[in-house]
Structure 1
Amino acid sequence: MNSSARTLPMAQVLLCGAVVVTLSMGIRHGFGLWLQPITQEQDWTRQTFAFALAVQNISWGIFGILAGMVADRFGAFRVLVGGAALYGLGLAGMALAPTPALFALTAGVLIGAAQAGTTYAVIYGVLGRQIDPQKRSWAMGITAAAGSFGQFLMVPVEGWLIGYFGWRGALLALGAAVLLVVPLAFGLREPRRQAAGAATHDQTMRQALAEALRYPSFQLLMAGYFVCGFQVVFIGVHMPSYLKDHGLAPAVASYALALIGLFNVVGTYAAGALGQRMAKRHILAFIYFARAVVIAAFLLAPLSPASVYAFAATMGLLWLSTIPPTNAAIAQIFGIRHLSMLGGFVFFSHQVGSFLGVWLGGFLYDRTGSYDIVWYIAIALGIFAGIVNLPVKESPIARPLPHGATP
């Protein structure tokens, strides 16, 4: 990419992108804190709440593809503004929904679509176009670390809001706060010609997608990301209830989720920085194998606040650290022109895993009275993901030169 084509200062892109992700991901990471207050007051089952969040994750994945296409074609600005508006409406609807169906529509479909327009795929498209390749993985690590800091910052705030305003008032307050994304979007507004991408060949979106879906390494990255979604969303949503079921105070869950966010600041930054020097497939394989080991150790150890905090800190190092190497590998293999769209497709796989993780957690708990089976599935999937990431080829894909072009 020609540096003269960039007009947005790197510091501005990083700052605005990081704060957008901090808000969007920070709010999302605290949704598990609402499970028991909502189900108890509304007299709903845990499966009802889990289904709505499962819909949210699959909606995020589906709309993420569309958001990526629009962002690649017209720039991130419009997508971010629309996503912020949907986020505010979804949080308000989540607070006021009187039935499970409306709850699934607002907490599920609306918020999922909002997250598609305000999180990584869209922001990483801007980073890919505006940041030099030599710093791209590092910049993605910075932004992912911001999302982790959002979890550390926002989860205790959300717990305090629920305690002070009640669960409905807390959601309405967050609905107003998320509108701060709109002014931040102006800092990520690219000139039209940059938003469309400075391509070195005339590859259409359909051609780019067909090329990627045929490429084995893209398929392997999608399989690994499926596992990532299953694990982190199951833990993020159901761990607070799992701990309460075992007699631990609600504050333990809040502190644990905050610790995951705090330590993931370190983990995601390290993964992004290491991605500039190490093979990204090795980083990803290590993360997935390590998750399997950490979850198994958590289940084997006697459950106490100390063991929960140790698990949260260790898992936090591995939490979103898959995001920078996965997206940097996609950019390295396929280039940046269709990065948001391709990132959206990989993230769709992540969200299918998220759907199954959060829904199975509620379904199997209601059927068995325990989360044990889902914990065991998470361990097995971690081993699977570690294995499938090892053969990924990260070198740029070989494409035929356009007719009449010279090498």
Structure 2
Amino acid sequence: MSDSQFSKPLIYMLIGAAIILALSLGVRHAFGLYLVPMSDEFGWGHNVFSLAIAMQNLIWGAVQPFTGALADKYGSRLVVATGGLLYVIGLLMMAVSSTGILLNISAGLILGLALSATSFPILLSAIGRAAPPEKRSLAMGIASAAGSFGQFIMLPTTLLLLQNIGWSAALVVSAILIALIMPLAAMLKAPTYAAPNAITTTQAALSFKDILIIAKNHKPFWFLALGFLVCGFQVVFIGIHLPGYLIDHGFNATTGTVFLALVGLFNVVGTYTAGWLGGKYSKPHLLMGLYGLRGIAIIAFLLLPLSTWTVYAFGVVMGLLWLSTVPLTNGIVANMFGVKYLSMLSGIVFFTHQVGSFFGGWLGGVNHDMSGNYNVIWMLSIALSILGVIVHFWVNEEQVVHD
């Protein structure tokens, strides 16, 4: 890719957004490693930690449309910097959480609010506004891919911290790293893209309320959102519970960490490739393929003999499919409704993702505490892959609202 494809302000924004996503999602991606040590120290079942992370995802999704609306109105820089501050506070409180209530306040409420301001919907929407339409999907894919590299880096880093200084001190170190988000937010200042030959029009701009009414009545928008629910369920269930699943089957914590690190590493390839392909082919058709392949990968993982190599192979495949949905889904929303209210509309779609995340995280813990295994949730994940394929038959990229 040639840098000449993008303006200098957009390149600057891409760098800032990528580092912010790497920090924000990298720290979050490692939360599954805390389930066993915190549960063991305080005598919790898996359900206590799972509920806190599930609440984090639900709160994150519930406030995302409002955080997005604030970013649309006041700019991404202020929202992201505020989210960085909340993230630091939440991690420091989580480091001293010795009860389920404290864990739900810190890891659930505060970190849920922080993530709504420092993750994909806000940052990719800022990039979407600054990028030319024909390069929008690619730009989102680049930021997603570079941000995914942080997930790869943070997994072994977090494991080393857990093994050498314990889970509480590891969270304090993570808080110090997250503090870098606040100054990095200043890099999100590329102007909204305007075509060189754009013709000024006197047509009245649609209001926030007008856009909401149009979105409410646009069925493909809601089918897209339903597909994103599938994504949330699968990635949070696997991200939070697979390390514990492997420990149940006699593997050590390192195996689960390497799995998640491989997911993060190959997610770099997957998200960039998805963004690139999204600029050339039908995004709904690509999403159908992604969800179908996820289902096949899960079936293969469960049917093959469980070994270190099958675990790592599953990590590679899931990494390629992990967040490849994000640039495609956000790109479809931008194509449907334009970019003026992209943060808010992406936030609405993302809310359904987080509803899925809530149930994937929480039901995984409930299933494990009740039966000692995750069989029911694995089967549900496969069924949801089929749903993810089906709903995208009714999704298209027809432009409903012009930029």
TM-score by length of 1: 0.93
Contact 1:8 1:130 (C-alpha < 8 Å) held by counterparts: no
Deviations 1:127-163 (A, max 9, x none): 1221111110001101111232111111111111111
Contact 1:148 1:262 (C-alpha < 8 Å) held by counterparts: yes
**Aligned residue among 202, 207, 211 for 2:205:** 202
**Could you tell me how far apart the structure 2 residues matched to 1:212 and 1:349 are?**
14
**Could you tell me how far apart the structure 1 residues matched to 2:382 and 2:77 are?**
39
Hey, what does 2:306 align to over in structure 1? 303
Offset of residue 367 of structure 1? 0.8
2:15 maps to 1:15: yes
**Could you tell me how far apart the structure 2 residues matched to 1:253 and 1:7 are?**
41
Contact 1:233 1:357 (C-alpha < 8 Å) held by counterparts: yes
2:164 maps to 1:184: no
SS at match of 1:366: helix
Contact 2:83 2:115 (C-alpha < 8 Å) held by counterparts: yes
Hey, what does 2:3 align to over in structure 1? none
Q: What residue identity is the alignment partner of 2:186?
A: F
> Structure 2 matches for 1:55-134, cutoff 5 A?
55-134=55-134
- C-alpha change, 1:326 and 1:388, in structure 2 (3 Å) is same
**Could you tell me how far apart the structure 2 residues matched to 1:178 and 1:83 are?**
10
Q: What residue identity is the alignment partner of 1:383?
A: I
2:166 maps to 1:166: yes
2:261 maps to 1:242: no
**Could you tell me how far apart the structure 2 residues matched to 1:279 and 1:190 are?**
28
Which ranges in structure 1 are unaligned for 5 or more consecutive residues? 1-5, 400-407
2:233 maps to 1:230: yes
Contact 2:71 2:79 (C-alpha < 8 Å) held by counterparts: yes
**Could you tell me how far apart the structure 2 residues matched to 1:77 and 1:110 are?**
19
Identity among equivalent pairs (%): 44
2:286 maps to 1:283: yes
SS at match of 2:115: helix
Contact 2:336 2:401 (C-alpha < 8 Å) held by counterparts: no
SS at match of 1:390: helix
- C-alpha change, 1:118 and 1:398, in structure 2 (3 Å) is closer
**Could you tell me how far apart the structure 2 residues matched to 1:125 and 1:360 are?**
31
TM-score by length of 2: 0.94
Offset of residue 98 of structure 1? 2.4
**Could you tell me how far apart the structure 2 residues matched to 1:134 and 1:178 are?**
33
Provide runs of 4+ in structure 1 moved above 4 Å.
Answer: 190-194, 198-201
Deviations 1:78-105 (A, max 9, x none): 1011100000010111110221111101
**Could you tell me how far apart the structure 2 residues matched to 1:113 and 1:7 are?**
32
**Could you tell me how far apart the structure 1 residues matched to 2:7 and 2:85 are?**
27
Contact 2:131 2:192 (C-alpha < 8 Å) held by counterparts: no
How many residues in Structure 1 have an aligned counterpart in Structure 2? Answer: 391
SS at match of 2:394: coil
Hey, what does 2:390 align to over in structure 1? 387
SS at match of 2:34: helix
Deviations 1:292-324 (A, max 9, x none): 000000000000100000111011100000001
**Could you tell me how far apart the structure 2 residues matched to 1:390 and 1:285 are?**
8
Hey, what does 1:364 align to over in structure 2? 367
